[in-house]
Chains A and B, each alone.
Chain A
Amino acid sequence: MIFDFQYLLDFFSANGIIKSIEICTIRHRLLKVIMSKEKMTVARAMVKCLEAEGITKIFGYPGAAICPFYDEIYNSKIQHILVRHEANAGHAASGYARITGKPAVAVATSGPGATNLITAIATAYMDSIPIIFITGQVNSFQIGKDVFQEADITGAAEPFVKHSYLVKDADSVPRIFKEAFYLSQTGRPGPILIDMPFDIQKQEVAFKYPKSVDLRSYKPSTFGNKLQIKRVIEAIKNSKKPLICVGGGAFFSNSQDKLARFSSRCEIPVVSSLMGVSALPHTHPMNFGMLGMHGVRTANIAAKNCDLLILLGARVGDRAAAAIKESEDLKVVHIDIDPAEIGKNIDADVPVVGDLSLILDQILELAPELKHEEWVEKLNSFKIIEQCDYSDDGYVHPKLFINKLNEGLPKNSIIVSDVGQNQIWTAANLHLDGGRFLTTGGMGTMGYSLPCAIGAKSADKKAEVIVICGDGSFQMMFMELATMIQHNIDVKIILMKNNKLGMVRELQTKGYGDRQIAVCLDGSPDFIQLAKAYGISAESINENSQVEGAIKSLIESKKPYVLQVIVDENQRTIIS
Chain B
Amino acid sequence: MQKNDNNLNRHTISILVENRAGVLARIAGLFARRGYNIDSLAVGVTDDESVSRITIVAQGSGYTLEQIEKQLNKLIDVIKVKTLSSGRLTSRELLLIKVHANAQQRAEIMTIAEIFAAKISDMSTESITLELSANAERLANFEEILRPYGIKEIVRTGTIALEKGPSALKL
Contacts and interface: CB of A to CB of B under 8 A. Distances in A.
Interface of A: 154-155, 158-159, 162-163, 166, 168, 183, 215-218, 321, 326, 338-340, 343-347
Contacts of A338: 74
B1 A159 contact: no
Interface of B: 1-3, 17-18, 21-22, 25-26, 29, 33, 63, 66-67, 70-71, 73-74, 76-79, 171
Nearest to A346: B1
Nearest to B171: A216
A343 B1 CA distance: 9
Contacts of B29: 158-159
Contact of A340 (B74, B77, B78, B171): B74
A216 B79 contact: yes
Contacts of B77: 217
Nearest to A179: B76
A155 to B, nearest CB: 7
B139 to A, nearest CB: 33
19 contacts: A154-B22, A158-B26, A159-B29, A162-B76, A168-B21, A215-B76, A216-B79, A216-B171, A217-B17, A217-B18, A217-B78, A338-B74, A339-B70, A339-B73, A340-B71, A340-B74, A344-B67, A345-B1, A347-B3
Given A217-B76, A217-B78, A338-B74, A343 B2 contact: yes
B70 A183 contact: no
B76 A163 contact: yes
A160 to B, nearest CB: 10
Contact of B67 (A162, A326, A340, A347): A340
A321 B1 contact: yes
Give chain A's interface secondary structure class.
loop
A242 B22 CA distance: 46
Given A158-B25, A217-B18, A326-B1, A343 B66 contact: yes
A215 B77 CA distance: 9
Contacts of B70: 339-340
Most buried by B among A183, A321, A343, A345: A343
Contacts of B78: 217
Most buried by B among A159, A216, A217: A217
A513 B1 CA distance: 30
Contacts of A345: 1
Given A158-B29, A340-B71, A344-B67, A218 B3 contact: no
A304 to B, nearest CB: 14
B130 to A, nearest CB: 38
B106 to A, nearest CB: 47
B21 to A, nearest CB: 8
B22 A166 contact: yes
A168 B70 CA distance: 29
A343 B25 CA distance: 26
Nearest to A159: B33
Nearest to A163: B76
Contact of B1 (A162, A163, A340, A347): A347
Given A158-B25, A158-B29, A216-B171, A183 B76 contact: yes
A347 B2 contact: yes
A344 B74 CA distance: 14
A219 to B, nearest CB: 10
Contacts of B66: 343
Nearest to B79: A217
B137 to A, nearest CB: 33
B15 to A, nearest CB: 11
Per CB-CB distance, the 7 closest pairs between chain A and chain B, nearest first, are A340-B70, A217-B79, A163-B76, A159-B33, A346-B1, A218-B76, A158-B29
B27 to A, nearest CB: 11
Contacts of A340: 67, 70-71, 73-74
A486 to B, nearest CB: 37
A163 B22 CA distance: 11
A346 B127 CA distance: 58
A317 to B, nearest CB: 11
Contacts of A339: 70, 73
Contacts of A163: 76
Contact of B25 (A155, A216, A217, A218): A155
A154 B63 CA distance: 30
Contacts of A158: 25-26, 29
Contacts of B67: 340, 344
